[in-house]
Structure 1
Amino acid sequence: MAKPAKTDRKAVIEQMRKKQKSSDRRRGAVIVTVCVLVALGIIGAAVVPILLDKKNDSELDSKALDQIGSAATVCQKVTTKKADGNSQHVPVDTPVDYTTAPPAFGAHWNQAGLAPASFSRKFYSTDDRPALEALVHNLEHGYTILWYDDTIAQDKTALADVEAISRKFGGDDFRNKFIAAPWKSDDEDGAAFPDGQHVAFTHWSAGGNGETDTSKQVGAFQYCSAVSGAALSDFMDEYPYTDSPEPTVP
């Protein structure tokens, strides 16, 4: 049988090479496409939650304070307890045992006459919260503190409500003396909130606006089963920054 001509063999080899190159190109295109889709998926997985959070923040920021979170009925009645510790400063890093969970008054760290937590900082997480002894100094200066427990900290929606509430107190107006901070019910802070309660408001009251008799000072407490901007609004109306031992200090 006659052997194929060399030109025929070359044509066959060239055709095979072309097919291989075409196959390689298709394989490369598929690999590139898959890589692009994977990259877009990774980017989307990172970006979409951020965009959704921003959208949620925008929606919450459009609401009035008393429209954020649950109705005021999720909170118990305000209670008070005779206060002590007025101007009772102890050296920084000295631990103080507070008798309530959370505190509304008591001895606190001396920070050169100034409240240690910045006036411009309204929200703290479990990672960056100041010590209790520092925050009690803020209470003496008229701040209201919204304390939230681990149940709220672990609930994305509830924590977003707390952060949205804190953003309502921006600016340099003294009426915005407010801080939201976590309560760590363990050996670090102390006892847990009452059963079923996950939020607490505290304020160090002078006993009335302009009251100078320290014997009339009380700590005001309100516990809530959920986050409620409406209840907080009512609480701060009843206990404004002016009703405190040192209202004129930042």
Structure 2
Amino acid sequence: MANQKKTRREVADQLRNQQKRADKRQGLIIVGACVAIAVLIVGLAAFRPIKDWWDLRQYNDLEIGDIGAKADTCSPIITKKATGNQEHVGADVEVDYPEAPPAFGKHEDTWDPMGRKLYTKDDRPDTERLVHNLEHGYTILWFRNIERNSEEYDDLRAIADRLKGDSNMRTKFKAVEWDDADGEWLDGGNPWKDAEGNEIDTSDMKVAFTHWSKGGEDVDVSDVEKQVGAWQFCGTVSGAALNDFMIEYPYLDSPEPSGG
């Protein structure tokens, strides 16, 4: 009988030891999985800056004017009389702009902070908010049909990198992917024409620069009748054309240059 009790005790001890070993193995598996996940998260966080550096290394010694295509891939600059100065709407209001993309008009009462320079259509601010940025002197490069992991997109990233920062007002710039939900791309010209009245073919244009001008740097901001919107269209990304456009229309040439 004693031997039988001892055997039962030994069996119980053996089962307990087996359970402890199983619990220990399970604990090690859980710890190992957590460590692996943590390493993966850290690795992914480190991978993005490294990949960005690798992808953009070819641009290290280039100025904006040397990035992308030559300026002659772009149309002449087009201007139209501007409206909407200081006309604010709520964040939930959709404005029907006559041109797509817009260069002026009614806009949200807040603007997008200066720090972020490049947006896709998946994470970009509303058009109404970006028009407020235009009122504050930004140049916006709108783009469409430019694939990720393409040389054109790398050109955009490199330009955004050259204009990074939020303290130098001369870098009031954003590159924003156009969302077709906001209107038909490059619609509103009917057709678009240059200063001499010549029609501009926009069928293959992937890029549009826009700026809200007060009518010239020397124009008093109170003279709203002189305000114009400016557009320029390009078949691909052209840092040279963008550089010329931003020289022609600096942030000071805007209805409210001190904001934003």
- Check whether TM > 0.5: yes
Question: 1:60 deviation in Å?
Answer: 1.5
For each residue in 1:138-182, what CA deviation from the matched residue of structure 2 results, as whole angstroms up to 9, or x when unmatched? 000000000010x21456211110111011112310011000000
Say whether 1:106 aligns with 2:105. Answer: yes
Please give the TM-score of this superposition, normalised by the length of structure 2. Answer: 0.72
In structure 2, relative to structure 1, the CA distance for the partners of 1:109 and 1:209 (3 Å cut) is: same
Map of 1:136 onto structure 2 = 131
Measured in 2, the distance between the counterparts of 1:61 and 1:126 equals 27
In structure 2, relative to structure 1, the CA distance for the partners of 1:120 and 1:51 (3 Å cut) is: closer
Q: Are 1:153 and 1:182, in contact at CA under 8 Å, matched by a contact in 2? A: no
Measured in 2, the distance between the counterparts of 1:179 and 1:70 equals 19
For each residue in 1:56-94, what CA deviation from the matched residue of structure 2 results, as whole angstroms up to 9, or x when unmatched? 312213211011000001000001011000000011111
Return 55-64 or 101-110, whichever deviates more: 55-64
Say whether 1:160 aligns with 2:154. Answer: yes
2:205 corresponds to which letter in structure 1?
A: Q
Measured in 2, the distance between the counterparts of 1:50 and 1:242 equals 33
Q: Pick one of 211, 214, 217 that aligns with 1:203.
A: 211
Matches for 1:85-124 after TM superposition, within 5 Å: 85-111=84-110, 116-124=111-119
How many residues of Structure 1 are paired with residues of Structure 2 in the alignment? Answer: 198
Measured in 2, the distance between the counterparts of 1:127 and 1:65 equals 26
Return the index of the structure with the highest Cα Rg.
1
Identity %: 47
1:160 corresponds to which letter in structure 2?
A: D
Measured in 2, the distance between the counterparts of 1:50 and 1:92 equals 33
Moved over 2 A (4+): 46-56
In structure 2, relative to structure 1, the CA distance for the partners of 1:77 and 1:117 (3 Å cut) is: same
* SS of residue in 2 equivalent to 1:105: coil
Q: Are 1:104 and 1:203, in contact at CA under 8 Å, matched by a contact in 2? A: yes
Question: 1:117 deviation in Å?
Answer: 1.0
Q: Pick one of 168, 176, 182 that aligns with 1:189.
A: 182
Please give the TM-score of this superposition, normalised by the length of structure 1. Answer: 0.75
Measured in 2, the distance between the counterparts of 1:157 and 1:48 equals 20
Q: Are 1:122 and 1:169, in contact at CA under 8 Å, matched by a contact in 2? A: yes
Question: 1:55 deviation in Å?
Answer: 2.3
In structure 2, relative to structure 1, the CA distance for the partners of 1:210 and 1:90 (3 Å cut) is: farther
RMSD after superposition: 1.9
Return 98-107 or 162-171, whichever deviates more: 162-171
List alignment gaps of at least 5 residues for structure 1: 1-45
Measured in 1, the distance between the counterparts of 2:147 and 2:228 equals 29
Measured in 2, the distance between the counterparts of 1:162 and 1:106 equals 26
Q: Are 1:70 and 1:229, in contact at CA under 8 Å, matched by a contact in 2? A: yes
